[in-house]
């Protein structure tokens, strides 16, 4: 590994992913530096969640390579993957909290499974993390009693309970009102500064992305269109990037013959 790779927490090289016969990601390259917030942005079906799941080792790539915290994860056994995953936190789109467990039990789950801490210490850590996400006093509620924003914040508290250096978010502001969404964005930025975390956020919310990102990668139909700072992305001349930023519908040209073939189902 070269010297300048040391600060690269994630390195994705020539990544290709398929769902069945369909190619979702085409030779994707991406690096995430230590201590930055990288936002992966794109429209629906652009492949951003597939990219995230592949980085987490939940999907197997067809080809290409992923280095996560200096570990090459593509060829690893399941057991070795579980070991690496203990070093990072993930906040899923819907929270993915266990409905049969209280907020406290959900947050303490990684501690119960991976440490031998006594209950008192775990309780203190749980209260501390709830304090960070502004949910003090909610530890005994069940997930069904929480709003969408609260669920995401509890999921965040669970993701940071082991003090990870790397944090992943899947659509953190999806389905939230603008105020709650802005609060969550602030929280993400605060976490990065206070805990010196490297954060990867997958989102299609432009405002949210511009608020939190150090760098942005724009995906479109499985291809990386651009990776750069917020200003670089805003000033990018690529049409598809501008379509996304200006919320313009795609204007794919289809000739009449091709259109008829599609309608009648004849030919490719």
Partner 1 sequence: MIRQHIQKLGANVIDFVQTTGMMGIFLAHCLRQMLTPPHKVISIIKQIHFIGGRSTIIIIFTGLFTGMVLALQGYHNLKDFGSTDLLGSAVGLGLIQELGPVLTALMVIGRAGSAICAELGIMRHSEQIDALECMGIDPFRFLMVPRFYAAIIALPMLTFIFDVVGIMGGYLVGVVLMGVSEGSYFQGMYNSVDWTDVQLGLVKSLIFGLLIIWIATFKGYFLHILKAGGHGAEGVSRVTTDTVVMSSVVILASDYLIGTIML
CB closer to partner 1 out of 174 and 206: 174
What's the rounded Cα separation, in Å, for the pair 137 and 18? Answer: 44
Q: How far is the CB of 128 from partner 1 (least distance, A)?
A: 18
CA angle centred on 247, ends 244 and 253, rounded to 5°:
75
Rounded to a whole number of angstroms, the minimum distance from the CB of residue 55 to partner 1 is 11
C-beta of 114 vs 190, nearer to partner 1: 114
Name the strands in the sheet holding 223-228, side by side, starting at the edge strand that comes first in the sequence. 88-91, 166-170, 198-203, 37-42, 215-220, 223-228
Considering the complex, state which of residue 84 and residue 141 has its C-beta at the smaller distance from partner 1: 84
Q: Of 154 and 236, which has the nearer Cβ to partner 1?
A: 154
Question: What stretch of H or E contains 193?
Answer: helix 178-195
Comparing CB distances to partner 1, the nearer of 166 and 236 is 166
Q: In angstroms, give the least distance from the CB of 94 to partner 1.
A: 6
Two tokens, residue 12: 């994705």
Find the shortest distance in angstroms from Cβ 230 to partner 1: 28
The contacts found for 24-30 with CB under 8 angstroms, 24 or more apart, are 24/50, 24/222, 25/50, 25/51, 25/54, 25/61, 25/222, 26/222, 26/223, 27/64, 27/223, 28/64, 28/219, 28/222, 28/223, 28/224, 29/224, 30/217, 30/224, 30/227
The set of residues, in sequence order, having a beta carbon less than 8 Å from that of 116 and lying 6+ positions away, is none
* Nearest approach, Cβ of residue 91 and partner 1 (Å): 9
Q: Which is nearer to partner 1, 109 or 180 (CB)?
A: 109
Distance of closest approach, residue 53 Cβ to partner 1, in angstroms: 8
Residues whose CB falls within 8 Å of the CB of residue 171, separated by 6 or more in sequence, listed in order: 49, 93, 202, 203, 204, 205
Contact footprint for partner 1 (CB under 8 A):
53, 56-58, 78, 81-86, 88, 90, 92-94, 96-98, 109-110, 113-114, 158, 168
**Closest separation between CB of residue 33 and partner 1, Å?**
22
- DSSP 3-state assignment of 169? strand
Residue number, 84 or 180, with CB nearest to partner 1? 84
């Amino acid at each position: 590994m070269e010297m300048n790779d040391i600060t690269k927490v994630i390195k994705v090289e020539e990544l290709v992913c398929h769902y069945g016969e369909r190619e979702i990601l085409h030779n994707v390259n991406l690096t995430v530096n230590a201590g930055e917030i990288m936002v992966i942005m794109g429209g629906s079906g652009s492949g951003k969640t597939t990219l995230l799941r592949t980085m987490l080792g939940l999907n197997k790539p067809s080809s290409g390579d992923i280095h996560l915290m200096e570990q090459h994860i593509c060829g690893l056994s399941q057991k070795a993957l579980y070991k690496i995953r203990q070093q990072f936190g993930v906040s899923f789109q819907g929270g993915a909290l266990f409905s049969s467990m209280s907020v406290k039990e959900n947050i303490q789950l990684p501690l119960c499974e991976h440490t031998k801490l006594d209950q008192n210490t775990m309780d203190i850590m749980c209260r501390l993390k709830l304090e960070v996400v502004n949910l003090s006093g909610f530890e005994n509620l069940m997930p069904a009693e929480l709003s969408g924003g609260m669920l995401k914040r509890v999921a965040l508290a669970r993701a940071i309970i082991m003090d990870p250096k790397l944090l992943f978010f899947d659509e953190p502001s999806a389905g939230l009102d603008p105020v709650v969404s802005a609060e969550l964005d602030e929280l993400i930025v605060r976490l990065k500064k206070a805990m010196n975390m490297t954060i990867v956020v997958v989102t299609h919310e432009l405002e949210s992305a511009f608020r939190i990102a150090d760098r942005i990668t724009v995906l479109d139909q499985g291809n990386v269109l651009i990776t750069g700072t917020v200003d670089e992305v805003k000033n990018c001349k690529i049409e598809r990037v501008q379509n996304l930023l200006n919320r313009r519908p795609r204007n794919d040209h289809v000739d009449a013959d091709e259109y008829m073939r599609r309608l009648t189902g004849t030919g490719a």
